[in-house]
Amino acid sequence: MLEDRQDRNPFGRPAVAPATRFTHVEIPIGPGDPPPLVSECEEEPPVDHAFAKCLGGLVSVVMQEVHLELAFLTGEITAVYSCGPGQQAVAVSGGAGVSVRLGEMYAEEERELLVEVRAPLGSHPHSLTVRCTYHNPASQETVRGAVQPLLLPALHVERALSASSSSRRLHDLFVATRVVAESRRLAELQDLGTTIHLLSSARALVLQSPATQQQQDLVGSLDTELSDMRWRRGNSQHQHQHEEAVTPTSRSGRRRGDGDTTTAVGTPRGSAGAGEALTPTSA
């Protein structure tokens, strides 16, 4: 079990913690004065035990401040998307080189990134370089990994969509991931109508591919986004209608019996408890 744990978390170390506050040579044995009560013992400053340090290392992250440095010298990195279940798909605008922040990572954790590049078809081969930089929580040092080149396969437009299933799979993944990222950006701008239209179009496009497990997963994620956006639009419309119902449309005040008038927004100028409640009809 210890070997398995060390393979999973190389920063973990076994430690033995005492079960009581006495060591094996301090346990009172035989007749004599009874041991002092806890309240009579002198207070000692807290000591950082090895077990506490080990436990903190087990629950802590393995890599902190993880950054990926991407470079594409023969073209342009137009965007980088974080995809996969439970990951937020947010586009990062790029250029010839970008730095993607991944934050903290635990042992055996995996992240999936979808990189969108733009390059001329005539120049081959294309190569994408990747370098990982992170903060080591054990040594408190910043580690810069080696530059790793990734050779990109040649792309033929006439065979891109009709050829292999891998091309279709990447195409559907790209469409779904990009639409989710764009829809969330538009949702922040309160453009929910365009958001729902984009998600519906992407769902119809993905359904044109042969039925696979990945297709079902992509359609499920798009359905989830659609349900969320439709709920937000309905909630926004309901809130807007409610605001219209309680907001007076007339700017003229209503004379009260005691001579007080109301302001343009319907707030009485007299005492707060005097008179009847203001309604759109009375306004």
pLDDT tens figures, 100-138: 888 888 887 888 888 888 888 777 778 899 999 999 888
Helix axes 213-246, 165-188, angle to 10 degrees: 10
Q: Is 276 helix (H, G, I), strand (E, B) or coil?
A: coil
**Same domain? 179 vs 238:** yes
Residue 11 to residues 15, 64, 66, 172, Cα–Cα distance (Å): 13, 13, 17, 39
What integer is the mean pLDDT of 9-17? 60
Domain span including residue 196: 165-242
Q: Is 178 a domain residue?
A: yes
Phi-psi region for residue 87, left (φ > 0), alpha (ψ -120 to 50) or beta? beta
> Is residue 263 within 8 Å of 253, Cβ to Cβ?
yes
Give the per-residue SS3 of 60-75: CCCEEEEEEEEECCCC
Q: Is 34 a domain residue?
A: no
**Same domain? 81 vs 147:** yes
Q: Is 44 a domain residue?
A: no
78 versus 16: which is more confidently predicted?
A: 78
Name the pairing type of β-strands 112-118 and 126-136: unpaired
**Same domain? 170 vs 149:** no
Is residue 81 over pLDDT 90?
no
**Three-point CA angle 218, 178, 131, nearest 5°:** 105
**Same domain? 114 vs 196:** no
**Same domain? 113 vs 169:** no
Token pair for 233: 């639009």
Instruction: Give Dmax (Cα) for the chain.
Output: 96
Domain count within the chain = 2
Q: Is 207 a domain residue?
A: yes
**Same domain? 98 vs 69:** yes
**Same domain? 171 vs 204:** yes
Q: How far is the C-alpha of 95 from the C-alpha of 72, rounded, in Å?
A: 8
- What per-residue string of b and e applies to 62-92 under the rule 16 or more CB within 10 Å gives b? bbebbebbbbbeeeebbbbbbbbeeeebebb
**Same domain? 68 vs 105:** yes
Q: How far is the C-alpha of 120 from the C-alpha of 267, rounded, in Å?
A: 65
Q: Is 78 a domain residue?
A: yes
Last residue within a domain, chosen from 206, 223, 242: 242
**Same domain? 142 vs 173:** no
**Same domain? 142 vs 172:** no
Q: Is 87 a domain residue?
A: yes
> Is residue 182 within 8 Å of 198, Cβ to Cβ?
yes
What was the pLDDT predicted at 257?
A: 47
pLDDT band at residue 32 under the 50/70/90 scheme: low
The mean of the pLDDT values for the chain is: 72
Q: Is 14 a domain residue?
A: no
Most confident of 82-96, 187-201, 238-252, 259-273: 187-201
What was the pLDDT predicted at 159?
A: 55
Q: Tell the burial category of 275 from Cβ atoms under 10 Å away from its Cβ (0-12, 13-18, 19+).
A: middle
Q: Is 98 a domain residue?
A: yes
Amino acid identity of residue 45, one-letter, is P
Last residue within a domain, chosen from 112, 128, 153: 153
Last residue within a domain, chosen from 105, 122, 153: 153
Residues in the chain, total: 283
Summarised one tens digit per residue, pLDDT across range 138-150 is: 888 999 999 999 8
Is residue 255 over pLDDT 70?
no
pTM metric for this prediction: 0.55
Q: Is 278 helix (H, G, I), strand (E, B) or coil?
A: coil
